[in-house]
Structure 1
Amino acid sequence: MRRAWTGPVLMLIAGAGAATGPFLQGRTGTGAVLVLVFVLLAGLTSPLVFPRSVGASQARRRSAVDGRPVVFWRPGCAYCMRLRLRLGRRARRLYWVDIWRDPAGAELVREANGGDETVPTLLMAGRTYTNPDPAWVREQVSSPR
């Protein structure tokens, strides 16, 4: 759990450090903008932006019942963030598995990617897709099953 928050916390610390100079020089506007930018970046790289993660076994069981895809991701991954943001509200239709919190999910990703933990990895209808195009995923989620 701590590993997932390391990046966002470091981002906040860096933001505080970057804003200290302008605040001490009396440029409060610049300091406030820097703080705001770093808080926004910390939020975007945190697990808070993603739908609630479920375990890999639970996600696979649910997916077998309703046919919804499973996305294996990890916090701080730019490609996972791109997929999440491009899906918008449709992201709730997928099952999200944080591989840093679920060893079974991490193992499945390594099996699918030749030993690498390459994310996002999508599991749909028994097939895995590594770093799929967000437009294609959006199309798959939008199509009636």
Structure 2
Amino acid sequence: MMRAWILPMVFVLCGSAVVMRPALTGDAGTAVALLLVFLALAGAHSPLIFPRSIGAREAERRAAVDSRPVVYWRPGCKYCIRLRFRLGRNGRRLHWVNIWRDPAAAAAVREANDGNETVPTVVVAGRPHTNPAPEWVRDQLKPSG
């Protein structure tokens, strides 16, 4: 759990350090702007932008029932962040599994990617797809027919 927050905390701490100089020299506008940039970076790299993660087994069970894709991801992954932002509201319809929280999920990703924990790995109808285009993932949510 703590590992997921290391990068966001680094952004907050570095941002606080960078903001000190303009703040101490009286340039409040620059200080506020820089702080907002670092806070935005921290938020974008935090687990907060992703829907609540579920376990790998539960995601597989739900996907079998509703045919929605399962997305294996990890905090701080720029490709996972890109996928999440590009999916927009549709991202909430997927089953998200954090591989840092679930050893079975990490093992499933390694099995699909020649021993590597490459994310995002999206499983559709039992077939894994490594780092697919967000548009392709969005298309998988459309009802067939």
Q: TM-score of the superposition, structure 2-length normalised? A: 0.98
Structural mapping, 1:93-112, within 5 Å: 93-112=93-112
Q: Deviations over 1:50-102 (max 9, x none)?
A: 00000000000010111010000000000000000000000011000000001
CA distance in 2, matches of 1:117, 1:7: 18
Q: Which ranges of 4 or more aligned residues in structure 1 deviate by more than 6 Å?
A: none
Partner of 1:135: 135
Superposed CA RMSD in Å reads: 0.6
How far does residue 37 in structure 1 lie from its aligned partner after superposition?
Answer: 0.5
Does residue 144 of the first structure (1) align with residue 139 of the second (2)? no
**Identity across the alignment (%):** 60
Partner of 1:89: 89
Does residue 115 of the first structure (1) align with residue 98 of the second (2)? no
Unaligned runs of 5+ in 1: none
User: Secondary structure of the residue that 1:75 maps to in structure 2?
Assistant: coil
How far does residue 3 in structure 1 lie from its aligned partner after superposition?
Answer: 0.2
Partner of 1:52: 52
Unaligned runs of 5+ in 2: none
CA distance in 2, matches of 1:23, 1:29: 9
How far does residue 139 in structure 1 lie from its aligned partner after superposition?
Answer: 1.2
Partner of 1:37: 37
Q: How many residues align?
A: 144
CA distance in 2, matches of 1:42, 1:126: 34
Q: TM-score of the superposition, structure 1-length normalised? A: 0.98
